[in-house]
């Protein structure tokens, strides 16, 4: 039987271990997988565009496990009171091709995006950072805040969103989570005194959420929302005086803030910074940008983390999604009633965690 | 809630309607989708190769629904008493990106491959065909036989496999299903007097299951087993004196029997024959080859057929795989307990069947 983690069980599990410990474990697994970057088969995602949005499949494998995420991006979904981004994913065994685990990934994508942001910030933001601005207070904003509290102790937030109700929603959630939250009147007001600026807006256009005059020396910009062709958040002038760090360059050149730059502009891959091969922040005056677009290895690590934590628990349910006849050449026997056995197969698969 | 069709419920459903009616309905849906070939976004599959086999994602969409299949091919799996090929798939709504339906596709792939084979044979085999040889008596052989019985009334079979136990397994299953089955001693013996020759072997190499001397004028060859680079079943000389029909040329040139031919060799797309744009069989002496490799539209049609037939029945179970908070901007509310509602969303999606 395949194992499945549904939404309610993920919520119960996160509530049982606590949000910050969950972030810690997830961030550690993502960082461990960034450290073995070379072991992964890195494919560009397969995107299917329509007038309403995009549906993507994001596969990767490390030679032992294969994982993929199904994810959509539909900016107008909120008009139907639906999520802009939903996702689920799967982990399989490379040696047999057998699926092992299916999981919700909508909440998990929000968690892993926050965990990846703070993993980058640990190497790129000033060590004494204590104030973060968050521009864009939609579905992902609290997850960004919680990740930075869990890993960097950031408790002072300055929020801005063009939707006042969204700001107030986020303040209410984060007040209750122990933050000191200021609601700004403008983006300029929001970034005043901020050591870290997180942009996580949803509009699908080349926007200038941050303009050059807003950026003081020493700031780290965590640019999360610009993540597909034609969707950016930073004025180009900011990029030209910053040091820019990315996940997977082949993808970021197409989807990230750097789609605004010439292809010979210098960028640094985050995994090389984590491994100490390249420098992260080198001075207190430097402006750093993490041009985050989200990469398959982050989802792979999330699936692996959830499966490792939960595989022997009641949080997972069994799903009978794969026929495993007694005689592999007699698939038809399942239909004519001569083989009623739909076997357990996990004990036949070498790479079960 | 997402709907899910598991293995046991598919088996129960097929048993309740009967195998031949199920084949009829499935074949009609596949043919309907081949007739609107131009409406589909046709992408090459995304393959991840390892020493043990291949894992593939096969997506397509028709502008209304998006579907994909996860499928593996691991020739050595039988040594572990596992299936060589397993699969499952998903259907989503293009306008919102929301998943609607997840289904087992291992049994369904065997059904749809048989249905596609006989759809081609109706246009390519002689109308008075009554005898079929099946070389390769593994997991898919009975499905091929049943499809040809359901749609063309073929009841006389000549079987061959290098594994005698597999032949006897297939004979036992097909005797019980009302066929007249002869077990041949050699491939040459098997094809004697056959109007249609189906090759459905599993070995991953360039084999010559059929040699030129075995092929009489007027025969239709249903070449199912040669379906990936380096895996073929027909001697090249057969191809040079046959008319060759394919699903999606871009894929068949890489994966099919025609990987043995020069790229300017004439081939015909099956959908054009079905629509009457190109000729199928034109004489009783002609040798025709359906170079089947399996294409995403066949899986899409299968998912659509199963979802249409079963969506309001108890054969499907609800799976809570997608978080749908009351306020789409308050995903976090599901975690801090302020939003306990994980809403039904199917009524918010325009394209539900």
Contact call for A348 and B55, based on CB within 8 A:
no
Contact call for B97 and A55, based on CB within 8 A:
yes
The CA distance from A286 to the nearest CA of chain B, in Å, is 33
Cα–Cα dist B190/B194, whole Å: 8
Residue B351 pLDDT level (bands cut at 50, 70, 90)? low
Query: Phi/psi class of residue A69: alpha, beta or left (left: φ > 0; alpha: ψ in -120 to 50)?
Result: beta
Q: Which residues of A touch B316 (CB under 8 A)?
A: none
Contact call for A338 and B173, based on CB within 8 A:
yes
The CA distance from A265 to the nearest CA of chain B, in Å, is 30
A98 to chain B: nearest residue by CA? B86
The CA distance from B281 to the nearest CA of chain A, in Å, is 31
Residue whose entry in the numeric block shows the structure tokens 């065997």: B110
Residue B343 pLDDT level (bands cut at 50, 70, 90)? low
DSSP A228: B
Cα B55 from chain centroid (whole Å): 16
Could you tell me if B349 and B324 are in contact, meaning their C-beta atoms sit under 8 angstroms apart?
Answer: no
Count other C-beta atoms under 10 Å from residue B224's C-beta.
25
Mean pLDDT in chain A?
A: 93
Lowest mean pLDDT among A49-53, A164-168, B335-339: B335-339
Q: Which residues of B touch A40 (CB under 8 A)?
A: none
Could you tell me if B319 and B102 are in contact, meaning their C-beta atoms sit under 8 angstroms apart?
Answer: yes
The domains located in chain A, with CATH, are 2-107+298-324 (3.30.1780.10), 126-294 (3.40.50.720)
The CA distance from A113 to the nearest CA of chain B, in Å, is 14
φ/ψ of residue A347, rounded to 5: -75, -10
Q: Which residues of A participate in catalysis according to the annotation?
A: 227
Contact call for A323 and B142, based on CB within 8 A:
no
Q: Which of A173, A331, A336 sits opposite B336 (nearest CB)?
A: A173
Pair type for strands B99-104 and B2-5: parallel
Q: Which residues of B touch A8 (CB under 8 A)?
A: 320, 342
Taking one residue from A and the other from B, the number of pairs with CB-CB distance under 8 angstroms is 264
Lowest mean pLDDT among A88-97, A304-313, B220-229: B220-229
Is residue A237 over pLDDT 70?
yes
Mean pLDDT of A127-152: 96
- Distances in whole angstroms, Cα of residue B279 to Cα of each of A96, B31, B195, B276: 42, 17, 20, 7
Max CA pair span of chain B: 75
Q: Which residues of B touch A72 (CB under 8 A)?
A: 92, 96-98
Q: Which of A7, A92, A177 sits opposite B342 (nearest CB)?
A: A7
Give the three-state DSSP class for A180: strand
pLDDT in tens, B135-145: 999 999 999 99
Is residue B289 over pLDDT 90?
yes
Contact call for B331 and A107, based on CB within 8 A:
yes
Contact call for A7 and B321, based on CB within 8 A:
yes
Greatest mean pLDDT among A74-78, A298-302, A317-321 lies in A298-302
Residue B79 pLDDT level (bands cut at 50, 70, 90)? confident
Q: Which of B11, B97, B166 sits opposite A53 (nearest CB)?
A: B97
B136 to chain A: nearest residue by CA? A329
pLDDT in tens, B207-261: 889 999 999 999 999 999 877 788 889 999 999 999 999 999 999 999 899 999 9
Cα–Cα dist B305/A215, whole Å: 56
φ/ψ of residue A94, rounded to 5: -65, -35
Q: Which residues of A touch B107 (CB under 8 A)?
A: 323, 331, 334-335
Contact call for A70 and B48, based on CB within 8 A:
no
Is residue A228 over pLDDT 80?
no
The predicted structure's pLDDT at residue A342: 67
Q: Quick one: A222 exposed, middle or buried, by C-beta within 10 A (0-12, 13-18, 19+)?
A: buried
Is residue A88 over pLDDT 70?
yes
Nearest 5°: CA angle at A176, between A170 and A179?
A: 75
For residue A85 the two structure tokens come to 């981004």
The CA distance from A133 to the nearest CA of chain B, in Å, is 18
Is residue B353 over pLDDT 60?
no
B8 to chain A: nearest residue by CA? A320
Q: Which of A332, A335, A345 sits opposite B82 (nearest CB)?
A: A345
The predicted structure's pLDDT at residue A93: 95
pTM of the model: 0.91
Contact call for B324 and A83, based on CB within 8 A:
yes
Contact call for B48 and A61, based on CB within 8 A:
yes
Q: Which residues of A touch B108 (CB under 8 A)?
A: none
Q: Which residues of B touch A77 (CB under 8 A)?
A: 96-97, 328
Is residue A353 over pLDDT 60?
no
Q: Report ipTM for this prediction.
A: 0.89
Q: Which residues of B participate in catalysis according to the annotation?
A: 227
The CA distance from B265 to the nearest CA of chain A, in Å, is 30
């Amino acid at each position: 039987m395949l194992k499945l983690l549904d939404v309610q069980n993920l919520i119960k599990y996160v509530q049982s271990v606590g949000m910050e410990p969950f972030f810690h474990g997830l961030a550690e697994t993502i960082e461990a997988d960034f450290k073995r970057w070379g072991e992964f088969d890195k494919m560009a995602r397969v995107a299917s565009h329509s007038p309403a949005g995009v549906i993507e499949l994001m596969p990767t494998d490390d030679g032992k496990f294969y994982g993929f995420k199904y994810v959509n991006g539909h900016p107008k979904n909120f008009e139907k009171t639906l999520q802009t981004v939903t996702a689920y994913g799967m982990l399989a065994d490379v040696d047999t091709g057998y699926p092992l685990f299916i999981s919700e990934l909508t909440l998990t994508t929000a968690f892993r995006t926050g965990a990846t942001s703070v993993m980058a910030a640990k190497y790129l933001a000033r060590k004494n950072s204590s104030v973060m601005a968050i521009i864009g207070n939609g579905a992902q904003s609290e997850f960004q805040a919680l990740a930075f509290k869990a890993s960097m102790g950031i408790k002072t937030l300055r929020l801005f969103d063009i939707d006042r109700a969204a700001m107030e929603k986020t303040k209410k959630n984060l007040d209750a989570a122990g933050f000191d939250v200021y609601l700004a009147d403008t983006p300029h007001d929001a970034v005043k005194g901020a050591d870290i600026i997180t942009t996580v807006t949803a509009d699908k256009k080349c926007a200038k959420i941050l303009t050059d005059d807003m950026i003081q020396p020493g700031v780290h910009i965590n640019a999360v929302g610009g993540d597909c062709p034609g969707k950016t958040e930073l004025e180009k002038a900011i990029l030209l005086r910053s040091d820019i760090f990315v996940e997977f360059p082949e993808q970021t050149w197409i989807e990230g803030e750097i789609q605004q730059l010439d292809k010979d502009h210098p960028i640094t891959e985050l995994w090389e910074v984590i491994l100490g091969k390249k420098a992260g922040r080198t001075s207190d005056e430097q402006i750093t940008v993490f041009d985050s677009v989200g990469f398959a290895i982050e989802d792979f690590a999330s699936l692996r983390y959830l499966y490792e934590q939960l595989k022997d628990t009641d949080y997972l349910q069994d799903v009978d999604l794969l026929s495993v006849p007694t005689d592999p050449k007699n698939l038809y026997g399942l239909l004519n009633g001569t083989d009623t056995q739909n076997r357990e197969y996990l004990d036949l698969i070498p790479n079960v965690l």
